[in-house]
Amino acid sequence: MAPADHIGGLGSAFWWLWSASTASNVADGVVKVAVPLVAVAATRSPALVAGVAVAVTLPWLLLALPVGALVDRWDRRRAMVTANVVRAAGAGLLALALLGDDDAAAIGLLYAAAFVVGSAETVHDIAAQAVVPLVVPPAQLSRGNSRLQAAELAANEFVGPPLGGLLVGVGAALALAVPAATWALAVLALVVLPGTFRARRPPGAGRTTLRAEIDEGLGYLWRHRVLRRLALTTGAFNLASNATFAVLVLWAVGPRSALGLTGTGYGLLFAAIAAGVLVGATLAERVERALGPARAVVVGYLVTVPQFAVLAITDDVALVAVAFVVGGVGLGTWNVIVVSMRQRVTPDHLMGRMSSGYRLVAYGTRPLGAALGGAVAQVLGVRAVFLLACAVVLVGAVGPLRTTDGDLGAGS
At 100 the pLDDT is 65
Three-class SS state of 170? helix
3-state SS of 63-130?
A: HHHHHHHHHCCCCHHHHHHHHHHHHHHHHHHHHHHCCCCCHHHHHHHHHHHHHHHHHHHHHHHHHHHH
Comparing C-alpha atoms, which of 354, 102, 50, 114 is closest to residue 215? 354
CA distances for 46 relative to 59, 129, 385, angstroms: 21, 34, 11
Q: What is the mean pLDDT of the chain?
A: 84
For 156-179, what is each residue's pLDDT tens digit?
Answer: 767 887 788 888 888 888 888 999
The Cα angle at residue 185 between residues 351 and 123, in degrees rounded to 5: 25
Q: CB within 8 A of 26, min separation 6: which ones?
A: 155, 156, 159, 160, 163, 179, 182
d(CA 296, CA 280): 11
Residue of 27, 126, 12 lying closest to 80 (CA atoms): 126
Long-range contacts at 375-382 (CB < 8 A, ≥ 24 apart)? 375/47, 375/50, 376/243, 377/46, 377/50, 377/247, 377/250, 378/45, 378/46, 378/47, 382/46, 382/247, 382/248, 382/250, 382/251, 382/258
pLDDT at 410: 42
272: nearest Cα among 310, 239, 236: 310
- Per-residue pLDDT, 202: 63
**Contact at 8 Å (CB) between 369 and 239?**
yes
Tell me which of 1.10.357.10, 1.10.1200.10, 1.20.1250.20, 3.50.50.60 is the CATH number of domain 9-194+208-410.
1.20.1250.20
Task: Check residue 178 and report its DSSP letter.
Answer: H
Yes or no: say if 311 and 393 are a contact pair by the CB < 8 Å rule. Answer: no
Half-sphere exposure of 201 (CA within 13 A, CB side): 14
d(C-alpha 76, C-alpha 72), whole Å: 8
Helix, strand or coil for residue 315? coil
Contacts 24+ apart (CB under 8 A), 131-135: 131/17, 131/76, 131/77, 131/80, 131/197, 132/17, 132/343, 133/343, 133/348, 133/351, 134/1, 134/2, 134/76, 134/195, 134/197, 134/348, 135/2, 135/11, 135/13, 135/14, 135/17
pLDDT score, position 104 = 59
Q: How many CB atoms lie within 10 A of CB 104?
A: 9
Is there a contact between 9 and 130 (Cβ–Cβ < 8 Å)?
no
Q: What is the pLDDT of residues 102-158, one digit of tens each?
A: 555 677 888 888 899 989 998 998 888 888 888 888 778 778 887 887 787 678 767
- The Cα–Cα gap between 276 and 150 comes to 10
Q: At what angle do helices 317-345 and 351-363 cross, to 10 degrees?
A: 150
- 178 to 191, 240, 340: CA distances (angstroms): 20, 30, 32
Residue 5 has φ and ψ, to the nearest 5°, of -90, 95
- Give Cα separations from 367 to 60, 363, 406 (angstroms): 8, 8, 34
pLDDT of residue 408: 66
Give every residue of the chain whose pLDDT is below 50, as ranges. Answer: 1-8, 410-412
Query: Can you give the residue ranges of every domain in the chain?
Result: 9-194+208-410
Residue pair 3/13 in contact by the 8 Å Cβ criterion: yes
pLDDT at 373: 92
